[in-house]
Amino acid sequence: MARTVTFKNNPVTLAGPELKPGDTAPSYTGLSGLSPVTLADTPAKARLFSVVPSLDTGVCSLQTKKFDDGIKALGDAVACYTVSLDLPFAQKRFCTAEGIATMQTVSDVHDHSFGQNWGVLIESGLPLKLLARSVFVVDKAGKITYAEYVPEVTNHPNYDAALDALKAAAK
């Protein structure tokens, strides 16, 4: 059965599985700059994956800034990533212009493996592919401890719940 969320109140179909707490975090190959990056390349500590459609939109920009601010107090205990289909150049421009220092970016533009494997790739209902707004927390053992697929892509995620899950995973 197809999984759907809405984008501006119109249903869109998501590719891939619906991940839940307790699931093993799936592999992916994204880009950090022009270098390939995989889940195995992330440090074995609590990790937050903030997934956005595009950094060049208001809600996505705010989501990245809120998580960047929210994780500063956790320091080296966590690793945090913003994942989008934006080109790595656009991600770097955004982070530089907005002073994003703690969140790292992963571009899924190459093969959409993050979107497909994590169940966030909008595969139909829009004229172009995007990732659905979602947030995942992965513990140091590679297990998902928090998963939120935002039902309406243009709405904000539950920042407090995600940050609380990240803090718990970092202990």
Q: What is the pLDDT of residues 12-39, one digit of tens each?
A: 999 999 999 999 999 999 999 999 999 9
Task: Tell me what the pLDDT averaged over the chain comes to.
Answer: 95
3-class DSSP state for residue 97?
helix
Total domain count, the chain:
1
Q: For the domain that residue 80 is a member of, what is the CATH number?
A: 3.40.30.10
Domain containing 8 equals 3-170
Helix, strand, coil percentages in the chain from 3-state DSSP, rounded to 5: 30, 35, 35
Active site members: 60
Helices (H), strands (E): how many in the chain? 4, 11
Predicted TM-score of the model (pTM): 0.96
Question: Please, what's the b/e burial string for 72-82 (b: 16 or more CB within 10 A of its CB; e: otherwise)?
Answer: eebeeebbbbb
C-alpha to C-alpha distance for 66 and 81, rounded to whole angstroms: 13
Determine the pLDDT at residue 160: 97
